[in-house]
Amino acid sequence: MKEFEKIPVTKVQRATKFITTGAKIGKNYLKHYGKKLVNPDVSRDELHEDNAKDIYNSLSELKGSALKVAQMLSMDKNLLPQAYQQKFAMAQYSAPPLSYPLVVKTFQKHFGKGPEQIFDTFTRKAMNAASMGQVHQATVEGKKLAVKIQYPGVADSVKSDLAMVKPIALSMFKLNPVEYDEFIQEVEMRMMEETDYVLELQRSIELSHKTSHLQHVVFPKYYREYSSPRILTMDWIEGKPLGEMLHKPLPKGAGDKLGQAMWDFYHFQMHQIRAVHADPHPGNFIITPDHELGVIDFGCVKVIPDDFYKTYFRLLDADLLTNKQKRDEVFYKLRFIYPDDTAKDRAFFTTLFSKLVELLARPFRSDTFDFADSAYFETLFSFGEEISNMKELRQSKKARGHRDAVYINRTYFGLYNILHDLKAKIKTVY
Summarised one tens digit per residue, pLDDT across range 262-306 is 999 999 999 999 999 998 888 889 999 999 999 998 988 999 999
How many other CB atoms are there within 10 angstroms of residue 303's CB atom?
13
Cα 236 to Cα 41, 139, 196: the distances in Å are 52, 9, 21
In this prediction, residue 246 carries a pLDDT of: 85
Considering only CA atoms, which of 61, 92, 58 is closest in space to residue 75? 92
Output the 3-class SS for the chain.
CCCECCCCCCHHHHHHHHHHHHHHHHHHHHHHHHHHHHCCCCCCHHHHHHHHHHHHHHHHHHCHHHHHHHHHHHCCCCCCCHHHHHHHHHHHCECCCECHHHHHHHHHHHHCCCHHHCCCEECCCCCEECCCEEEEEEEECCEEEEEEEECCCCCCCHHHHHHHHHHHHHHHHCCCHHHHHHHHHHHHHHHHHHCCHHHHHHHHHHHHHHCCCCCCEECCCECHHHCECCEEEEECCCCEEHHHHCCCCCCCCHHHHHHHHHHHHHHHHHHHHCEEECCCCHHHEEECCCCCEEECCCCCEEECCHHHHHHHHHHHCCCCCCCHHHHHHHHHHCCCCCCCCCHHHHHHHHHHHHHHHHHHHHHHHCCEEECCCHHHHHHHHHHHHHHHCCHHHHCCCCCCCCHHHHHHHHHHHHHHHHHHHHCCEEECCC
Distance CA 334, CA 354 (A): 13
Residue 398 clears pLDDT 50, i.e. is over it = yes
State pTM to two decimals: 0.79
Angle formed at CA 45 by CA 43 and CA 47, multiple of 5 degrees: 100
Q: What is the pLDDT of residue 141?
A: 94
Dump pLDDT digits (tens) for 181-229.
777 778 888 888 989 999 999 999 999 999 999 999 999 999 999 999 9
Kindly state the percentage of the chain with pLDDT values over 90. Answer: 52
Give the model confidence (pLDDT) of 85-127 as tens digits: 554 555 444 556 778 998 999 999 999 999 999 999 999 999 9
Q: Which amino acid is at 422?
A: L
Question: In terms of pLDDT, which residue wins out, 119 or 84?
Answer: 119
Where does the pLDDT of residue 75 fall: very low under 50, low under 70, confident under 90, or very high at 90 and above? very low
Confidence of residue 156 (pLDDT cuts 50, 70, 90): confident
CA 172 → CA 28, 167, 270, distances in Å? 13, 8, 34
Rounded CA-CA distance 105/109 in Å is: 6
Label the pairing between strands 133-140 and 143-150.
antiparallel
- pLDDT score, position 44: 66
Cα gap 330→312, rounded to integer Å: 8
**Rounded Cα–Cα distance for residues 55 and 159 (Å):** 19
CA-based nearest residue to 269, from 233, 223, 301: 301
Q: Lowest mean pLDDT: which of 11-15, 173-177, 342-346?
A: 11-15
pLDDT, one tens digit per residue, over 373-386 is 999 999 988 887 78
CA dist 332 and 353 (Å) reads 11
| Average confidence (pLDDT) over 28-55 | 64
Average pLDDT of the residues in 331-349: 95
Residues of the chain with CATH 3.30.200: 96-129+132-155+195-236
Position 25 scores a pLDDT of 59
Exposure of 256 in the CB half-sphere (CA atoms within 13 A): 10
Q: How high is the mean pLDDT of the chain?
A: 83
Alpha-carbon torsion angle 243, 246, 249, 251, nearest 10: 100
Q: What is the pLDDT of residue 224?
A: 96
pLDDT in the model for residue 166: 72
> What is the domain class of 96-129+132-155+195-236 according to CATH?
alpha beta
Contact 341, 347 (CB under 8 A): no
Give the pLDDT score at 95: 56
Band of pLDDT at residue 77, cut at 50, 70 and 90: very low
Measured between alpha carbons, how far is 255 from 252 in angstroms, rounded to an integer?
7
**What pLDDT, on a 0 to 100 scale, did the predictor assign at position 5?**
56
Q: What is the pLDDT of residue 233?
A: 98
**Amino acid identity, residue 81?**
P
For 411-424, the pLDDT digits (tens) are 998 899 899 999 99
221-230 pLDDT per residue, tens: 999 999 999 9
Q: Is beta strand 293-295 parallel, antiparallel or unpaired with respect to 217-218?
A: parallel
What confidence score (pLDDT) does residue 177 get?
Answer: 73
Q: Does position 259 have pLDDT exceeding 50, yes or no?
A: yes
Cα–Cα distance between 237 and 218 in angstroms, integer? 9
Residue 1 has pLDDT above 50, yes or no: no
